[in-house]
A and B are shown apart, each in its own frame.
Chain A
Amino acid sequence: MAADPDLYRALGDATRRIILDELADSDGQTLFEICGRLSMKHGLASSRQAISQHLAVLEQAGLVRTRRQGRYKFHHIDTSPLRSIVERWPIEQPEEPSP
C-alpha cells in the first residue's frame, strides 16, 4: 500500500507512540493538553513545536485526525490504518481448545 511508509515511519518513534497512547486514553485533545500529558506524565521535555510536528506526522499517516470546534482544534486518534498491518501479515486465531 502506498500509505505504508508513512504509517511505519509514524509508529517508529517512541514519542509518537506515547501521543497515540494518551489519545487512546482520552480522545479529542488540544495541543496544550497533549503537551501537558507528555511533560507531566511521561517526563518528555519536547517543545510545543516538536510535538506539533509529531502530530503532523501522525496526521499524514492517517493515525490522527484534527477537528476544529469554534476557536479550538482537537486531535483524535484513528486506528483504522493499522488494519493494513494485519491484512498484510494476518494474525492467526488461537485454536479452540478441544471439548
Chain B
Amino acid sequence: MRINITSVLVDDQAKALAFYTEKLGFIKKTDVPAGAARWLTVVSPADPEGVELLLEPDGHPAAGPFKSALAADGIPFTQFAVDDVHAEVERLKGLGVEFTQEATDLGPVVTAVLDDTCGNLIQIAAMK
C-alpha cells in the first residue's frame, strides 16, 4: 500500500487551482468532471509522478465548523516541504500571500504558516 492522493478541503475549486498553481507553484495533474464538482489534482513540479493533492470541495456541513475552528487557533491543515522557508516566505509575500506565522526556527526545523485563501492554513517546513 502506498499514498497516492491527499486532500485539502477548498471552498472554490477554480480559486484553489489558481492559488495552488500560480502562487504555490504546483502543476495541474488531473481535471475531470465529477458530478457538480471536478476531480481536480495538482502535483509538485519536483515530483510530477508523486503524491497528488486533491482540491476537494468543502460542501459537507461539518467541513465549515472544522475548518474555521482550525483557522481560529492557527492550526495548519497540512504541510509542504520547501528547501528554504525564509526565502519561500519572501517569495510568496511578494505574490500577496498572507502568513499567520512568520518563518520560525524551532530547533530541528524551520516552519511558517500561510493562508491558502480557500479556508485553510498550510505549513511550510524545512528540516535542518
Name A's B-contacting residues (CB within 8 A): 26, 29-33, 36-37, 40-41, 48, 71-74
Most buried by A among B104, B111, B113, B121: B104
Q: Which residue of A lies closest to B101 (CB)?
A: A33
* CB of A68, distance to nearest CB on chain B (Å): 8
Tell me the complex Cα distance, A30–B106, Å.
15
> What DSSP secondary structure best describes chain B's contact surface?
mixed
Segment from B1-9, B23-31, B72-80, B88-96 that makes contact with A? B72-80
B113 and A30 contact, CB distance less than 8 A: yes
B74 and A40 contact, CB distance less than 8 A: no
Q: Which of B68, B108, B109, B113 contacts A32 (CB 8 A)?
A: B113
- B12 surroundings in chain A (CB, below 8 A): none
A72 and B109 contact, CB distance less than 8 A: no
* CB of B105, distance to nearest CB on chain A (Å): 8
A33 and B68 contact, CB distance less than 8 A: no
A72 and B108 contact, CB distance less than 8 A: no
B106 and A36 contact, CB distance less than 8 A: yes
A31 and B73 contact, CB distance less than 8 A: yes
- B106 surroundings in chain A (CB, below 8 A): 36-37, 40-41
- A37 surroundings in chain B (CB, below 8 A): 104, 106
B72 and A32 contact, CB distance less than 8 A: no
* CB of B73, distance to nearest CB on chain A (Å): 4
Given contacts A26-B102, A30-B113, A32-B113, contact A72 B74 (CB under 8 A): yes
* CB of B108, distance to nearest CB on chain A (Å): 7
